[in-house]
Structure 1
Amino acid sequence: MRSGIQVAPDTLLGVPVPPPKLMAALDDLAAGVSAQRLAAEVDRWQARYHDPAADLSHAAQLRPEQAIAYAVYRMPATYAATATALSALAAAIPNLAPATLLDLGSGAGAATWAAAETFASLQESIALERDPEMTAVARRLPPALDRVSGQLADLSAIKEFPTIDLAIAGYSLNELSPSTVDTVLSRLALSANTVLIVEPGTPRGFAVVRQARERLVSLGMSVAAPCPHDDTCPIVDPDWCHFSVRLPRSALHRRVKKADLGYEDEKFSYVAATRLPVHPANARVLRHPQVRSGHILLRLCTDSDGLTDVTVSKRQGDTYKRARRISWGEPW
């Protein structure tokens, strides 16, 4: 049971993982599709997800087994990425206690689940999804909140969004053209106090996040995370800003993905912007810390110097001990 203003997501070794009842429901969902068919559909999703030239517009309506395969294949990873980003957002706004959520491109509901597990204050979610089969899958899973309403809606066609505390667009803006992304964000910024955008941790996904960041800042919002400033992003092509969360694979995941490892790494890019008072990190670690003999190298994005490389020596005592514990994506 959730209590207080904020609770941390369920974790395994510090990693956000979906609640057991959600994972059990995904297992039950998969049981309705033959193992061979499910594995074949997961193969198609994997190929599409990793193809930088793939058309992500979902022009054709999904078949039921395709929607189920997507939920089984992607929901644990998108949950983990979104929950990680929400934790960074909550750290930047310690008193953040949203009561209402708008879940844009909601799919099977991973973002709503992540927000419900992060914020005990959350009471209601409005889920917008354009594919009826994904909406059908979401209805077959347990609700994350007592009040979750789903609407079939194309984001590009919505002229006005409802007034909302928190809006999350998780892995959905990449399906829109750049001009449509600008339009959606312009309308969203008029109604939402805080906006979180999460995309795949690829150059293409980061391009969407960077565009969203620029647009939201231009509309008067402040960046809460991961960036320590509102200035122009210092990342230049071909580099891109992304983070990683390691999550355990269930037996079902290992089976449908034909995987031997008991874990997977989800790479993601994100930006959170707000109209609320915010205290972003002074700096954030942008790569895995490089441990060398007697020192550690940190790649940072800072509020004063932009991108910078810092060497922390053993002679620095407590600072060195902290550097030994710091992880990619954490504030410094």
Structure 2
Amino acid sequence: MRHFLDFEKPLAELEGKIEELRRTTDAGGIDVAEEVGNLQSKADKLLASTYAKLTPWQKAQVARHPDRPKCLTYVEALIEDFVPLAGDRAFGDDAAVIGGMGRFRGHSVMVLGTEKGTDTESRVKHNFGMAKPEGYRKARRLMELAGRFGLPILSFVDTSGAFPGIEAEARGQAEAIARAIEAGLDAPVPFVATIIGEGGSGGAIALAAADRVLMLEHSIYSVISPEGCASILWRDAAQASTAADALKLTAQDLSRLALIDSVVPEPLGGAHRDPQATVQAVADKVWASLEPLLDLDAATLRARRREKFLEMGKQGVV
């Protein structure tokens, strides 16, 4: 059963009527093919018009859609012979951060990502994609391992942010995130990061300090969630829509500000309507971003990456 967002209610009603008419036909009733066709045409036009004018807050809702492809969806579809690697060699393993080695289009790579989960059990297991210090220390360990073995790094980011619990702070959350960002910036190998859903705060940047940062068309990337911003500025989470407008968190905003490198188009209606097509589009864009980097040496990669992020600061947008 398809999950509809609040702003999709008119579309839900139309598609519900279409489904009812199709069941009537299947049950041996009168032929309603023409009426179904007319309603489907209306639904397609409504879907196109709705998604052509999404507000930043609506895009945030699409980015969080429960049926949107998650990190493991991309890993399973794109990475051959994936071998997961666990633990930070200090405290334990963090299921919110996925990592391991495999092959992408014939090239050995190191893969990182934040996994939210797809149902209640897996969401609890992966802590809804909110990593703790051990998760970021695992990411740092694997980035350094990739550097030693000359493996390009691919990351798939989907997190509302780092876990904010007391135990995470007690174990050095800020330091762990900073060290992960440092490892990304210092990596002597090509690094391509893709924001596939939410890119929340330092918890996202820890896995996205890359040579090329891609964003899906309806994903979001921001220093804070709209709800968190609204709670701080207006002491009212209901102002999230206003905050989303001000944060410039959409892929289109960030592309204009030159904070990301490319926007990956999504199927009409969002990635959740056609996960397979979305995964393929991401694969093609990742490869197009990775291939030119493969012949660059470590010194050039580091220098270009450093200049890229320094340039953001010079423009006064960070």
User: Normalising by the residue count of structure 2, what TM-score does the alignment of the two structures yield?
Assistant: 0.31
The structure with more helix, counted as a fraction of residues: 2
The structure with more strand, counted as a fraction of residues: 1
